[in-house]
Structures are given as structure tokens and as C-alpha cells.
Structure 1
Amino acid sequence: MSKVIVFGSLNMDLSIESDHMPNLGETIIGRGFITNPGGKGANQAVAAAKMGAAVCMLGAVGADAFGDQMIAGLAEHGVTCEYITRSESCPTGVAIITRVCGDNFITIDAGANASTRIDAVRRALDEVAEPGDVFLAQLECDYETTWAALAEACKRGLYVAINPAPAHEIPEAVLPCLDLVVVNEGECEMMTGIYPADATSARAAADKLKESGVGCVAITLGARGSMVFCSNETIESVPPKTRAIDTTCAGDTYIGAMVAGYARGLSLADSVALATKASAMATTKVGAQQSIPTLAEVE
């Protein structure tokens, strides 16, 4: 079985529920405050580990209590944390999350996430990476480091995947390095200029990315499920009906499960099915990593 190597963010989520978003200058009463380990990179690493993959996390936290909690939480889920560095000059990243009617609004302070440089990624890959392993990144770390890391992983024969979130353009030179791009509706529109309102527009957006050199494109569509375009294979997946409480980690769960399926040698169809069910289940609990189901629960 291949490994999943995740280079990405580690944030402590500070989450509160309210009936509506406050207006400028307004103070409102909330409820259900929680702190929960999160960050797109760490969430996707935990999801992959919970779906049965061997996972190694690359990234950085501060030399603070949040950093201690982040590493302890990842280790508890079986993620290798040896290559997470501790910054003395930057605090652990933080995400402020307001939950409204089952959806969420998020503001992030990157903190130590922006401190990792490509030399640290290369050193880690020298020690842990083997051809055929998965390398997964997002865009909550330093952009230049991320672009260089994706190219480095491609050069080493890894299966390179990215979730370009928060939405940001990817340099044209990097696109041919990508075996898998996973985007939601907004990220899809930002990257291609096409909003995936239906199957036709989703295919047009995917074709545009594939023409740029991307191998496989997965477009997540919220409650509508997802569409995956890979070579000559197209898979449309509709999630089971659930009572959504908090969508904070649904997308990260989908991505982590997708790459875990690849690393475990599952077919594309089975990987998508696993990701679809896991992400739907993640919406039924509050929080980020604590909401991700285990493989046994999904099965």
C-alpha cells in the first residue's frame, strides 16, 4: 500500500453557532462554542488516516499550547508527525468559524503555516517518499513553497493531488504536475471561469483544466454530490441523505478519503463512493477532525 504525504495547514478552530452573521458593529449572542483541531492539511490527513491509509504530515505549528494539541490530535489518529516543525517566531494557525444554519463562515490567521520553506519539504521527501506515494497539498501555506513542493513531488514520481483552497490561481507551469485536482463550485469558477451549474458546465470546466495538463478533475457540488472526470471515465456521485449540522469538514473529508482510496489500491469508482459517503457523514457532527467518520463507520 502506498503512503499519503500531506503538506498543508494545521489550525486550531475556534467555532461558534449563531442564528445569523452579525452586521458591521453588531454584537450577537451565540452558542455551542468549541475548540477543535483543524486546518485543511491536517483535516485531510486525518480523513485519509481514518479511511485506512498510512499518512505522514508535513507542516508547522507554533511553540504554544495549540501546537501541542494539534500534534497530539494527529498522532492519536495514527498520522506520522515527525516532520511537523515548531516555530518559535510564529503562533499556531487559527481559524475563526461561525456556524449558521448548518453552513459556515471562516476567517483564518495562517501563523506558522506560512513559515515552511521548500528545503524542509525536500528533506522530508528524501526520507519518506517513494514512487507511487500520494502527495497532497492545499493553499493555506506559503504559495511559492507549495508550487515548488508540487513540482518536487512530481519529479520524484509521486501521485500529486491538490485542493486549491482557499481559491487561488495555480501557475501554468505547475498544472502539468497535477494528477488530481479537487475543487468545489467556487474554486472551479475561479480557476476556469466556468461555474459548474450542471453536468455540461462541469464537464466543460474539467476539460479546460485537463487541457492545461491536469490528469484528473473532481468537482464537489455540496448536497448535489460530485462529478469526477478522469481519462475517458466520468463518475457522478450523489450523497446519501443526511441531516446536516455542520459542513466545516465535509470537503476535507471527501479529499482525504479520495486519496486514501488511491493509496489503498481501490478503483476510482470505489474511491469516489467512499469519499461521498464519508463526507456526507461528516456533516452530521459539529467540528472538524472530530466529525470525520472511521472506515468501519462508513462501511
Structure 2
Amino acid sequence: MRRCLIAVLRGRCASVTTAAMIARPEILCIGSVLWDVIGRSPAQMAKGADVPGRIVKLPGGVALNIAMTLARFGLRPALLSAVGRDPEGDELMAECIGLGLETSFVYRSDDLPTDRYMAVEGANGLIAAIADAHSLEAAGAKILRPLTDGTLGSAHQPYQGAVALDGNLTAQLLEEIARSDDFRAADLRIAPASPGKADRLLPFLRAGRGTLYVNCEEAGILCKTRFDDATTAAQALVDRGAARALVTHGGAESCDATADLTLTRCPPEVLVTRVTGAGDTFMAAHIAAERAGADRETAFARAQDAAALFVSGDTPS
């Protein structure tokens, strides 16, 4: 099965036509699509720790994590990203197809290698992580061509569906997206990817466009201060121009804020077994709930419940 999928990706299965492969996506996931290499240990870890554990390799990246969760909730997400035409890229695309994701719009580069993310997690949470998204950054606006060449949208008919966007794109490209008419009709949902890239979302505050999904630390970076609770952080983001802000704070109270309504809720208490991807799961579950017609309170609760299931080691669906 996997060999056949890889053959399709390399163009050797001529019987599979483009028309047959492409279905109109319900949501676009734009950003990092890569391999996660994650080391996990049940031990408490400090700087320099050398402990036994498990190392896994699995499909990842913020955009891909969101897309995989959306697919589990029954949606048809499409990926817009950059993936190399190397063996790692072919294997990754085959995995994505097997998960029910639309990969026809992914920019495949002959010169750029497939990106990777590496993290170490202990019983006390994420210890360290490095995201190598240099190929995505180098590809730049090429990944957005389907939104301007008439495939998914054009200047006269901009894309009108939902878009999950992550901060692994360059600051310049995110600035262009925040101001671009190509996204004027889209329901933009935006995540920073990591605290180290949180300030890349500042253009969306200035433009007053999109829904931001951040944690307290990332909200503090955007507001150039420190927050001890999600409610204060979410309200500060709205005051600075955010159209809507959803702020999480680990196991503490989370907040969903707009200029006219603020919701707060504590997530379920669970035993934490993993953390990488929890924020992406929260965001995807929230988008899926709202697209299914849930009101704000219900969507907020479903997102927290899904994230709690994820960190406990279960898979939300």
C-alpha cells in the first residue's frame, strides 16, 4: 500500500488522474508539514539529563497536526506547505494520504529537503525542542500559489473557506497574508507554532484579522509583558487589536475573548503523558466544533476536552 502511494507521488502511477485525487477541501492547513522526532522519558528531567526513554518518529508540524485532528473529526483538510522530493518527503506524503489528507496542493521541491522537528519531553513537560523549518521558509509564497492561480482562489474570487495558519512561515510572508486581499473572505485561524515565533503574529493584531490561538507565554510576547492568567492575556490581546483570542494556560483556566464577550473555563484534570501537539489538538477541535454548528461555549468545552484526552495519551475523535 505504502509503495503504491509513494509511486503515485513520484508520478509513476499514470492511471491516477489529478481530477480523481482532488476534492474540494473544507479547510486549508497552511504551514509546517514535517517529521517529528520526539524523545520521551517518564523521569523528571533537568538540563544535561541522560535518562532512559523512547524515541519516536511520526508525521508532525503545526499545520499537519491540525489537519490530522480535523480529519479525525470528519473534515476534509488540505495541506499547503513545502515538502522535499526526497525519500523522507515521499514517505511523509504517503502517510498523509493514508490519513485522508489532501496533498495535491503541497509544493514539492527538488532542491529543498523535507523539514524536521526534534523535541525531548520528561515527566515535567517539554524540556527542549528545535524546529528545522528552513525549507518551508525558503519556499515562501510558492506554497500559496493555489490561492491566487484559480485553483482554490483568485484576485476576483478569493478563497472563502476556513484557513488554519501557523507561524512557521516567515515574518514577511505572514505580514503579507495579514494585509492581503487574497485572504479577505477567509475565516483565518492562526497559531504561532512556538513562543520563539509568537511575535510573527503581530501583523494580525495590527490588521484586526483572524482568531489567535496562543498560550499565556505567547500572549505575553505579543503584548511585551508577562501574564499569570489566560483571561488577562486574552483581554490584552483584544485590546491590542485582535479580533478574537483563545488563550490556554496548561491545566489552569483558559479564555476565549472578543470585544463583546469573554468566556473562561478550566480544562479537565488528567495525567499528562505528552505535550507536543496539545495546542494544535485544542485548535483543531475548536475549529471542528464551530464548523459543526456548536455555540462558543460548547466549542470551547469540546476543544479543552480533546486537548485533555490528547495529553493523557488518548486520541480525540
- State the match for 2:312 in structure 1: 284
1:73 aligns with 2:95: yes
Distance in 1, matches of 2:51 and 2:25, equals: 48
The answer as to whether partners of 1:47 and 1:256 remain within 8 angstroms in 2 is: yes
Moved more, 92-101 or 231-240: 231-240
Counterparts in 2 of 1:32 and 1:136: CA distance versus 1, 3 Å: same
| 1:84-163 aligned within 5 A | 84-101=106-123, 103-104=125-126, 105-124=128-147, 126-128=150-152, 132-152=160-180, 155-163=183-191
1:32 aligns with 2:54: yes
Distance in 2, matches of 1:155 and 1:218, equals: 21
Counterparts in 2 of 1:39 and 1:225: CA distance versus 1, 3 Å: farther
- State the match for 1:230 in structure 2: 258
1:179 aligns with 2:202: no
Distance in 1, matches of 2:82 and 2:25, equals: 24
1:4 aligns with 2:4: no
- State the match for 1:46 in structure 2: 68
Counterparts in 2 of 1:156 and 1:256: CA distance versus 1, 3 Å: same
3-state secondary structure, aligned to 1:214: coil
The answer as to whether partners of 1:53 and 1:264 remain within 8 angstroms in 2 is: no
Distance in 2, matches of 1:59 and 1:261, equals: 25
Shift of 1:59: 0.2
Counterparts in 2 of 1:154 and 1:278: CA distance versus 1, 3 Å: farther
3-state secondary structure, aligned to 1:146: helix
The answer as to whether partners of 2:165 and 2:191 remain within 8 angstroms in 1 is: yes
Q: Which amino acid in structure 2 is aligned with residue 282 of structure 1?
A: F
Distance in 2, matches of 1:3 and 1:41, equals: 15
The answer as to whether partners of 1:11 and 1:37 remain within 8 angstroms in 2 is: yes
1:193 aligns with 2:237: no
Distance in 2, matches of 1:89 and 1:5, equals: 25
The answer as to whether partners of 2:238 and 2:257 remain within 8 angstroms in 1 is: no
Number of equivalent positions: 283
Q: Under a length normalisation based on structure 2, what TM-score does the superposition of the two structures give?
A: 0.80
Counterparts in 2 of 1:207 and 1:122: CA distance versus 1, 3 Å: farther
Aligned counterpart in structure 1 of residue 84 of structure 2, from 52, 58, 62: 62
Deviations 1:77-129 (A, max 9, x none): 32211111222222111111111115122111114222333254143464235
Distance in 1, matches of 2:292 and 2:257, equals: 20
Q: Which amino acid in structure 1 is aligned with residue 228 of structure 2?
A: A
Distance in 2, matches of 1:282 and 1:275, equals: 11
Moved more, 43-52 or 206-215: 206-215
Higher RCO (Cα < 8 Å, 6 or more apart) = 1
- State the match for 1:297 in structure 2: none
- State the match for 2:40 in structure 1: 17
The answer as to whether partners of 2:204 and 2:210 remain within 8 angstroms in 1 is: no
Shift of 1:228: 0.6
| 1:195-214 aligned within 5 A | 195-198=226-229, 202-214=230-242
Distance in 2, matches of 1:9 and 1:155, equals: 19
- State the match for 2:13 in structure 1: none
Q: Under a length normalisation based on structure 1, what TM-score does the superposition of the two structures give?
A: 0.85
Distance in 2, matches of 1:225 and 1:46, equals: 26
Counterparts in 2 of 1:67 and 1:161: CA distance versus 1, 3 Å: same
Task: Let me know the Cα RMSD of the aligned residues.
Answer: 2.5
Counterparts in 2 of 1:2 and 1:206: CA distance versus 1, 3 Å: farther
Distance in 1, matches of 2:61 and 2:302, equals: 22
| 1:240-251 aligned within 5 A | 240-251=268-279
Q: Please, which runs of 5 or more residues in structure 2 have no aligned partner? A: 1-23
Q: Which amino acid in structure 2 is aligned with residue 195 of structure 1?
A: R
Calculate percent identity across the aligned residue pairs. Answer: 21
Shift of 1:22: 4.7
Counterparts in 2 of 1:60 and 1:196: CA distance versus 1, 3 Å: same
Distance in 1, matches of 2:203 and 2:54, equals: 45
- State the match for 2:288 in structure 1: 260
